[in-house]
């Protein structure tokens, strides 16, 4: 008689207890799926492979935090991979130091400073959004992704993405209006 095949939650529970063989078995079941999820975000097979491995490492270190009542193991792992891919996209964005961006002086310096302050308030407002709304708005407006690509990266329909964007814009507007008052 053969031993029953362990379920994903069983493997993850054993992984949380430090069972490396259980995690290797779980990783074998999901690595290709995680690579595909990362590839949808990154459009770079090599980077997608790196992100899939990074996602598995994150899952190994966070196995004890998994809550089966919140998501299936597959959904949990997929979310980790997509978040890792989005983190990589964000990290690749060029950043500008505030001191480099500000003009020295002269006409328009006050206007430029006011614009920079408004940008800072907007960044705070975006940071205050719930994660899915923040990701939707960042991918669509910050990264310039098409709605279809952003929806695919978030594993939602185009209609659901529009709902996320609508709620994001409404919350941002309210935050900015409150700050302006």
The answer as to whether 54 is a domain residue is yes
- From 92, 126, 148, give the residue that closes a domain: 92
The verdict on 39 and 108 lying in the same domain is no
The answer as to whether 135 is a domain residue is yes
The verdict on 150 and 128 lying in the same domain is yes
CA pair distance 146, 151, nearest whole angstrom: 9
The answer as to whether 3 is a domain residue is no
The pLDDT of residue 9 is 95
The pLDDT of residue 115 is 66
Q: How far apart are the first and last CA of the chain?
A: 73
CA pair distance 65, 73, nearest whole angstrom: 12
Angle, helix 158-180 to helix 109-128, in steps of 10 degrees: 130
The answer as to whether 1 is a domain residue is no
Per-residue pLDDT of the chain (181 residues; tens, 9 = 90+): 667 899 999 999 999 999 999 999 999 999 999 999 888 888 889 999 999 999 999 999 999 999 989 889 999 999 899 889 888 887 776 544 444 444 455 556 566 666 677 777 777 888 788 888 888 888 888 778 888 888 888 888 989 989 998 998 898 888 888 877 6
Q: 3-state class of 157 per DSSP?
A: coil
- From 92, 118, 147, give the residue that closes a domain: 92
The verdict on 106 and 37 lying in the same domain is no
CA pair distance 172, 154, nearest whole angstrom: 20
161, 31, 32, 153: which is closest to 82 by C-alpha? 153
The pLDDT of residue 102 is 44
CA pair distance 54, 51, nearest whole angstrom: 5
The verdict on 103 and 176 lying in the same domain is yes
Residue span of the structural domain in which 65 resides: 8-92
Q: Are 34 and 52 in contact (CB under 8 A)?
A: yes
Claim: this prediction has a pTM higher than 0.75 = no
The verdict on 64 and 102 lying in the same domain is no
- From 92, 112, 138, give the residue that closes a domain: 92
The verdict on 132 and 112 lying in the same domain is yes
Angle, helix 158-180 to helix 147-154, in steps of 10 degrees: 100
The verdict on 73 and 106 lying in the same domain is no
DSSP state of 7: P
CA pair distance 154, 81, nearest whole angstrom: 11
């Amino acid at each position: 008689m053969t031993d029953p095949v362990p379920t994903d939650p069983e493997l993850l529970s054993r992984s949380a207890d430090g069972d490396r063989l259980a995690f290797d078995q779980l990783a074998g079941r999901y690595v290709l799926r995680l690579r595909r999820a990362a590839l949808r975000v990154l459009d770079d097979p090599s980077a997608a492979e790196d992100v899939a491995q990074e996602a598995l490492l994150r899952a190994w270190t966070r196995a004890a935090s998994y809550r089966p009542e919140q998501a299936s193991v597959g959904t949990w792992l997929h979310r980790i991979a997509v978040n890792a891919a989005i983190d990589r996209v964000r990290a690749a964005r060029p950043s500008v130091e505030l001191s480099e961006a500000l003009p020295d002086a002269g006409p328009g310096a006050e206007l430029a400073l006011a614009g920079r302050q408004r940008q800072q308030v907007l960044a705070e407002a975006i940071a205050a959004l719930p994660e899915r709304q923040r990701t939707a708005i960042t991918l669509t407006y910050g990264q310039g992704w098409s709605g279809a690509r952003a929806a695919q990266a978030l594993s939602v329909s185009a209609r659901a993405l529009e709902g996320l964007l609508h709620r994001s814009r409404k919350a941002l507007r309210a935050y900015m209006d409150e700050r302006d008052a």
